[in-house]
Amino acid sequence: MIYRLNEIIENRKKNPRPGSYTNTLFNSGQDRILQKIGEESTELILAASNQGDKRLIEEMTDLFYHSLVLLAFRDIPFSEIEKEMEKRHSGIS
């Protein structure tokens, strides 16, 4: 599903849709996207501390989404993240 979400985000960048939250973020610029990542990171920490697994999952999902928006905004393909992960974890079984 993360690949599908990434495709949707990249599609919104190429083909903006009126009323799209993703397009609102793109139009607001990098500072707003970074602000949202900061907010979601804080919410994730709070959820992990004392709000239960369901909230943790919800907040992690929000953080993933906003991180993918940042990558798309910066024209960094998700495949670059995969390459870096492979490089860091090659040989681990």
State how far the Cα of 58 lies from the Cα of 83, in Å rounded to an integer.
26
State how far the Cα of 23 lies from the Cα of 14, in Å rounded to an integer.
10
How many helices (H) and strands (E) the chain has is answered by: 5, 0
Spatial neighbors of 67 by CB under 8 A, at least 6 apart, are: 37
Q: Which CATH class is domain 2-78?
A: mainly alpha
Spatial neighbors of 41 by CB under 8 A, at least 6 apart, are: 63
Sorted by where each begins, the domain ranges of the chain are 2-78
pLDDT tens track, the chain, 93 positions: 899 999 999 999 999 999 999 999 999 999 999 999 999 999 999 999 999 999 999 999 999 999 999 999 999 999 999 999 999 988 665
pLDDT on residue 90: 83
